[in-house]
Chains A and B, each alone.
Chain A
C-alpha cells in the first residue's frame, strides 16, 4: 500500500487491468455460451 501511495501511476495501471479483466471475463462467458450452442447444434445435425 505504501508503495502504491508513492507510485501512483501503478494505481491507474491496476484500474486499467481491472477493466480488462472484467471485459475478459464477460467475453469468456459469452464464448462458453456460444460453444454450448455449437455442441448442441452439432449433436442435432
Chain B
C-alpha cells in the first residue's frame, strides 16, 4: 500500500512539475527551466523518455538476476520472474523507441534516421524479441527455463554496451552522443539545471516504483497460471 500510495503521489507530482514550469533563456526564479538551444519545449521529454529507457535496462538486469538464480536453484518461480521481467523490459524498450521516434520527427525531421542510439535500441528489440521466440519454440518446461535463463544472461551483458557505450562513442544526433555540440557525456550532467535534475530523478524513482508494482502483478499472474497448469 505504501509503495502504491507513494507511486501515485510521486508520479502525479512529476507530471505536473514536468509541464508547469516555464522555459526561459535566463532563469531568475527557482521554478523556471533554462532554455536548451535546439530542444526548447521538447526538452521536457527527458522526464518521460529517459525513465522508460532506464526501466528497460533495469528490467533486463532483473531478468538476468532471476536467470542466474534459476540456474543455481532450479526453482520454476525464478524462471517465471525472469521471463516476466524480460517482458516488461521489452514493453519499456518499445515505449522508449516510439517516444524517441515522435521526438525525432520534430527535432531531426523524420521518425527514423538510423542514428547510433536508434540502431542500438533496434538491436536490443531484436535480441529480446528473439528471447520470446526461443521461449515459445521449446515445449519441455525445464529445457525452456534453462535455455532462456542462459539467453537472458547473455542478452543482459550486451545491454550496457548498446544503451550506455555505443551511442556515446559514435557520432550521432542524440543528446549525449559524440557529435553533440556540447561534447560527449550524459545529457543530465551539464545541460540540466538543479530544478530539472530534481524532477528528473523524482521521475526515475517514480518509474522505478511503477516497474516494481507491474513486475509484482505480472509475477503473481504468472504464478497462478503455472499452478493452474500443474493442476490441469
Contact = CB atoms under 8 A, between A and B. Distances in A.
A41 B102 CA distance: 43
A36 B133 CA distance: 24
A37 B95 contact: no
Interface residues of A, number: 23
Query: SS class of chain A's interface: helix, strand, loop or mixed?
Result: helix
B42 A8 contact: yes
B142 interface: no
Nearest to A26: B91
User: Interface range on chain B: under 10, 10 to 19, 20 to 34, or 35 or more?
Assistant: 20 to 34
B19 interface: yes
Interface string A1-39: 000110011011111101100110011001001100100
Contact of B224 (A8, A18, A23, A37): A37
Contacts of A15: 45, 48-49, 99, 102-103
Query: SS class of chain B's interface: helix, strand, loop or mixed?
Result: helix
Contacts of B42: 8, 11-12
B102 A22 contact: no
Interface in B25-51: 40-42, 44-45, 48-49
B101 to A, nearest CB: 10
A2 to B, nearest CB: 11
A12 B228 contact: no
Contact of B225 (A27, A37, A44): A37
Nearest to B227: A37
10 contacts: A8-B41, A11-B42, A12-B48, A14-B102, A22-B91, A22-B94, A22-B95, A33-B225, A37-B225, A41-B228
Interface of A: 4-5, 8-9, 11-16, 18-19, 22-23, 26-27, 30, 33-34, 37, 40-41, 44
